[in-house]
Amino acid sequence: MPLFRSLPEEELRRIFAELKVTETRFKKGEVLAMQDEPVNRLIILLSGSVKGEMNDPSGRVAKVEDIEAPSPLAILFLFGQHNRFPVQATAREDGTAIIIPRQSVLRMLSMNETLLKNYLDISADFATRLSRKLNLMSLRTIRQKLAVYLLDLAKKQHSEAVTLDRPKTALAEYFGVARPSLEREITRMEEDGIIAPLRKEISILDRQELVRLADKG
Amino acid sequence: MPLFRSLPEEELRRIFAELKVTETRFKKGEVLAMQDEPVNRLIILLSGSVKGEMNDPSGRVAKVEDIEAPSPLAILFLFGQHNRFPVQATAREDGTAIIIPRQSVLRMLSMNETLLKNYLDISADFATRLSRKLNLMSLRTIRQKLAVYLLDLAKKQHSEAVTLDRPKTALAEYFGVARPSLEREITRMEEDGIIAPLRKEISILDRQELVRLADKG
DNA sequence: CAAAAACTGTCGCAGATGTTACACAAGGAA
DNA sequence: TTCCTTGTGTAACATCTGCGACAGTTTTTG
């Protein structure tokens, strides 16, 4: 559990003794937090997983985000003026979570500097992901997004032959583009000799060109 | 100064006495932080203003963000694993700032709960803005973005006749679209009887339709 | 005040993307 | 295994958007 990393168990126990902390079980399909509901408590997944959905009033579901235990929900929005859940959080499977009211979180963080550091680190990591995605979404063309994404994957996987970390369907959704459009662009980059795609495996043939695309479009 | 709001001056003085805090002046055009430079200190603008730019290696400038005093820079990225400035920060005019090393920020926050709360509130507000922009960028069409943006403005300004809070040039950039495309869409929505635009003043004629667009596209 | 810079409004065309539809492959569940 | 769900690959066509250019207006600056 990243939030409590490096904390001696007795210290943790001492802190918890002073706080209002609830542990709860939830079942698959249960709604842990409604969209636009005020975030007045920190929900930390201990086990299980949760999906975040934005519901159109038209009934359909829009964007999706998955969160695996152990991880906090909406930690970036616990404080501030407009602190509301950006998505509806629904359990994907049975699991457990602990719930800490905002005021208790505040007290908890001021009780232990390591804990505070952990909290800030976790928040910053979420913010970084948010920022990265925003950068990706700001790119004009699908080709450009692909270039950035592939280079990023190659870096993470330390290889010029990358394996997509999600199905292309999900990747298209992540990019905010239509799936066939993404496929088409992959095909075109293959025709241009930049990559060699095979299902989820994509080899980078012309790294220089990818870098050029990522930088300049 | 939001970060130190509700803090008695003597308390503030007591805290500062224990920390490494530097005050600095900067001149117009000076670079306060390079893009991708590690964020190992908190920079708080006391006066003046700063622009954030992403530089393409091709020389041109990409996205822009403006920050006015009093406000911290890159507060969301001070902690965490990949803590680097997302943009280059350049002074738009002469001004002053205080600089606090990361470690001192940590100590400072654990010394006073009000200060901690302020810090978390400010962070959350930035995260909220980031999240809102991401949502906007995720919308497929310019028409949809406009709908969401106008409804948001109308809410903030408590009126159906809104005044754009930035030039259309800047709005197009914020949307990540070409300016003429934005103008065209405004014209079309006028032709459709949804809005009545005049320079920066835009009256909402058919709110229902706007809401429908914002929800479903 | 005058000049420069930034902003607004509009065209036409080329290119990028969305949409819908279909066929097939892969993987999981009964 | 067989069914069923999800993912992959491709095509044609309509639509949306980007781009460059230009003229006119407003705002800023010296």
User: For residues B158 and B214, what is the distance between their CA atoms, to the nearest angstrom?
Assistant: 18
CB-count burial class (<10 Å; 0-12, 13-18, 19+) for B30: middle
pLDDT tens for residues A63-102?
667 888 899 999 999 999 888 998 888 888 889 999 999 9
Q: For residues B52 and A57, which has the higher predicted lDDT (pLDDT)?
A: B52
| Mean pLDDT by groups of 10 residues along chain B of 217 residues | 93 93 90 92 92 61 74 95 87 91 96 97 95 90 95 94 95 94 97 94 95 80
Q: What is the pLDDT of residue B56?
A: 54
Give the per-residue pLDDT at A110. Answer: 95
Report d(CA B89, CA B72) in Å as an integer. 12
Cα dihedral sign, A48-A51-A57-A59: negative
- A181: which nucleotide lies closest, measuring CA to C1'? C17
Instruction: Tell me how far apart the alpha carbons of residues B24 and B18 are, in angstroms, rounded to a whole number.
Output: 19
Instruction: Summarize the confidence of residues A27-38 as an average pLDDT.
Output: 90
Of A122, A124, A216, the CB nearest to B56: A216
What average pLDDT score do residues A49-70 get?
A: 70
Distances (CA, A) of A47 to A72, A92, A100, A177: 11, 11, 16, 32
A82 CA to D6 C1', in Å?
38
Closest CA to B55 of B22, B99, B88: B88
- Mean pLDDT, residues A147-173: 94
What strand order describes the sheet that includes A31-33? A31-33, A88-91, A49-55, A61-68
Q: Which nt sits closest to B179, CA to C1'? A: D18
Q: Are B81 and A121 in contact (CB < 8 Å)?
A: yes
Tell me how far apart the alpha carbons of residues B115 and B6 are, in angstroms, rounded to a whole number.
Answer: 8
Cα gap B116→A107, rounded to integer Å: 10
Distance between CA A90 and CA A50 in Å, rounded?
A: 5
Note the pLDDT of residue B43: 96
Residues from chain A that touch B121, judged by Cβ atoms under 8 A, are 79-81
Rounded CA-CA distance B100/B46 in Å is: 13
**Predicted pLDDT of residue B62:** 56
- Listing DSSP states for A64-77 in one string gives EEEEESSEEESGGG
The nearest alpha carbon in chain B to A113 belongs to: B110
How is residue A180 written in tokens? 């066939």
Q: For chain A, what is the mean pLDDT?
A: 91
pLDDT band at residue A14, thresholds of 50, 70 and 90?
Answer: very high
Q: Answer yes or no: do A127 and B130 touch at CB < 8 A.
A: yes
> Average pLDDT for residues A122-133, to the nearest whole number?
94
Cβ-defined contacts of A157-160 (< 8 Å, 24+): A160/A203, A160/A204, A160/A207
Residue B63 forms contact with A (CB below 8 Å): yes
pLDDT in tens, A194-204: 999 999 999 99
Nearest nucleotide to A179 (CA to C1') is C18
Q: What is residue A16's predicted lDDT score, i.e. its pLDDT?
A: 93
Helix, strand, coil % in chain A, rounded to nearest 5: 45, 25, 30
Beta-strand relationship, B71-73 and B22-26 = unpaired
Write the burial class of residue B120 (CB in 10 Å: 0-12 exposed, 13-18 middle, 19+ buried).
buried
Element (H, E) at B179: helix B179-191
Long-range contacts of A72-75 (CB under 8 A, 24+ apart): A72/A3, A72/A42, A72/A43, A72/A44, A72/A45, A72/A122, A73/A32, A73/A33, A73/A42, A73/A43, A73/A44, A73/A45, A74/A33, A74/A39, A74/A43, A75/A42, A75/A119, A75/A122, A75/A123, A75/A126
Question: What's at B197, amino acid-wise?
Answer: P
Determine the pLDDT at residue A55.
63
Yes or no: say if B178 and B142 are a contact pair by the CB < 8 Å rule.
no
Collapsing DSSP to helix, strand or coil, A203 comes out as strand
Dihedral, CA of residue B39, residue B41, residue B47 and residue B53, to nearest 10? -10
| Cross-chain Cβ contact B124/A83 below 8 Å | yes
**DSSP code per residue over B56-119:** PTTS-EEEEEEEESSEEESGGGSSSSS-B-SSEEEESS-EEEEEEEHHHHHHHHHH-HHHHHHH
pLDDT confidence of A59, banded at 50, 70, 90?
very low
Residue A50 one-letter amino acid: V
B57: preceding bond cis by omega (within 30 degrees):
no
Look at residues B65, B113, B125, B122 and name the one whose alpha carbon lies nearest to residue B89. Answer: B65
User: Distance from first CA to last CA of chain B, Å, rounded?
Assistant: 40
Let me know: does B42 contact B72? Beta carbons within 8 Å. Answer: yes
Distance CA B157, CA B1 (A): 24
Q: Which of B106, B128, B216 sits opposite A80 (nearest CB)?
A: B128
Could you check: is the Cβ of residue B179 within 7 Å of any atom of nucleic acid strand C?
yes
A180 at B interface, C-beta within 8 A: no
Strands (E), B118-198: 161-163, 195-198
pLDDT, mean of residues A15-40? 92
Contact B106 A120 (CB under 8 A): yes
Inter-chain residue contact A116 with B127, CB threshold 8 Å? no
Distance, angstroms, CA A146 to C1' C24? 25
- pTM score of the predicted model: 0.90
A-to-B residue pairs, Cβ atoms closer than 8 angstroms: 132
- Residue B214: predicted pLDDT: 86
Tell me what pLDDT residue B116 has. 97
pLDDT tens per residue across span A170-180: 999 999 999 99
**What pLDDT does A204 receive?**
96
Is the bond leading into A70 cis (omega within 30 degrees of zero)? yes
